[in-house]
Amino acid sequence: MCATTFSATTPGATYCKDCKPKAAALASARWNAENRDRWRAYGQAYEAKKKNATIIPFGPESVTARWEYFGNRCWVCRGEATATDHVKPLNKGGPHMPANLRPICQPCNSSKSDKWPYFADMRRASPSRP
């Protein structure tokens, strides 16, 4: 960012017009990093709205409770979970609510994709995982 300074007579101005977008992007990235759960919940709710899914309002603590219920493990292979999955995909009519969310690992999430129904015999066989 440049070294332009503003006087006290410039209300609300802290950056020049060239630096303001950069400063806003940095502030946004910092907030996203500090509020990861809230940012993820916002993104999921946004996707649900785009797909006209039924939305039941809930907070990040509900998602955390779902993860703890499953022991922070993937619900398909019991490996280390890295994402939150809508069991019944939003584009197949699944609701955006805690009962439809489960922790999942990236390989299982990629192979499951938006399949519905997802039967137990379709689960990935992975002898190397608990």
DSSP string, the chain: -------TTSTT--S-TTTHHHHHHHHHHHHHHHTHHHHHHHHHHHHHHHTT--B----HHHHHHHHHHTTTB-TTT-SB--EEEESS-GGGT--BSGGGEEEE-HHHHHHHTT-SS--GGGSPP-TT--
Query: Is 109 part of any domain?
Result: yes
Tokens of 116: 């519905």
Query: Is 130 part of any domain?
Result: no
Query: Is 61 part of any domain?
Result: yes
Top-confidence residue, 117 or 67: 67
Please tell me the pTM assigned to this model. 0.61
- Alpha-carbon distance of 42 to 129, in angstroms, equals 31
Query: Is 128 part of any domain?
Result: no
Work out how many domains the chain is built from and give that number: 1
Query: Is 2 part of any domain?
Result: no
Domain of 63 in residue numbering reads as: 20-122
Query: Is 78 part of any domain?
Result: yes
Query: Is 11 part of any domain?
Result: no
Report whether 95 contacts 47 (CB < 8 A). no
Please give the average per-residue pLDDT across 112-117, as a whole number.
82
Looking up tokens 């994402």 gives 83
Looking at residue 119, its pLDDT comes to 67
Using CA of residue 107, residue 108, residue 110, residue 111, what is the dihedral sign?
A: positive
Query: Is 50 part of any domain?
Result: yes
pLDDT band at 9 (very low <50, low <70, confident <90, very high): low
Is the confidence at residue 122, as pLDDT, over 60? no
Percentage above 70 pLDDT, the chain: 80
